[in-house]
Amino acid sequence: MSKQRLIKYFFLVFILVSYAGLVLFSISSNKEALQKDSYWAWYRNYVAQAPKGAYVNTGSEKKPIAL
């Protein structure tokens, strides 16, 4: 096998491994972002602040029900 062909294969393998690494990193970071966004959406919609602390409101704003 010629030296030039070996170098081409090396760069091809390097590019494929780099691409696979970037895809895996992107998937893992998106999963974390989705979990954080879901939590904060839940928190904004269901956790109510009161003078003595916070509670989970399972009712409506007009008629709160503490969980």
pLDDT in tens, 43-64: 998 898 888 888 888 888 788 8
Instruction: Work out the mean pLDDT of the chain and round it to a whole number.
Output: 88
pLDDT value at position 15? 94
Measured between alpha carbons, how far is 46 from 16 in angstroms, rounded to an integer?
Answer: 45
pLDDT in tens, 8-18: 999 999 999 99
Query: Is the four-CA dihedral 15, 16, 17, 22 of positive or negative sign?
Result: positive
Measured between alpha carbons, how far is 20 from 26 in angstroms, rounded to an integer?
Answer: 10
